[in-house]
Homo-oligomer: A and B are copies of this chain.
């Protein structure tokens, strides 16, 4: 794996369809640090692009304003390393819009891999997904905000990834932590 550059791995942060505390499907609000922390991890590990997916118009406007500040505005002059990270972000209204975008650029429809804190039958191991990243087919790794991706979304993805497990039954990482750890497992030296 030493020659792998991570150039065909995409990260998608999904704000709809996700579930709330009670299991209802919602569109969650964007968290500012999800943009920064996940973009920095994506840039560090060589992810090709970081898609932020929300159907809410006001959220799209908000994200674009934040990105303008850091990518073309004063924030990027103050902290050029932050500019390099946030330049990886593209905001789209739906997961399918992202798939069309990637397929157009890559010439292949990407394989979709959904992540979850729960175990699903037949889920991919980290080792298997590392092997898949050697293929020319691009891969999108989808992460849910709020209480996670909806059951329908999980079922419709091409693959589900093994959950992260720690020292015991407790397994409640932030999405920022989960993305960081999974990128290290897939692309870390």
Mark A residues whose CB is within 8 Å of B: 5-6, 21, 33, 36-37, 40-41, 43-46, 79, 81-82, 84-85, 164-168, 170-174, 176-178, 180-181, 183-185, 187-189
Contact = CB atoms under 8 A, between A and B. Distances in A.
B44 A166 contact: yes
Contact of A44 (B36, B45, B167): B167
29 contacts: A6-B167, A21-B79, A33-B33, A37-B177, A40-B177, A43-B166, A43-B170, A43-B172, A44-B170, A44-B171, A45-B166, A46-B166, A46-B167, A46-B168, A81-B170, A84-B170, A85-B172, A165-B189, A166-B188, A166-B189, A167-B187, A173-B180, A176-B180, A177-B180, A180-B180, A180-B181, A181-B188, A184-B184, A184-B185
Contacts of A188: 164-166, 181
A174 B46 contact: no
A172 B5 contact: no
Nearest to A7: B167
Prevailing SS type, chain A contact patch: helix
A141 to B, nearest CB: 15
A184 B164 contact: yes
Nearest to A36: B174
Most chain B CB within 10 A, of A5, A168, A181, is at A181
B44 A173 contact: yes
Contact of A166 (B33, B37, B164, B187): B187
Contacts of A167: 5-6, 44-46, 187
Tell which of A79, A81, A166 has the most Cβ of chain B within 10 Å: A166
Contacts of A181: 180-181, 184, 188
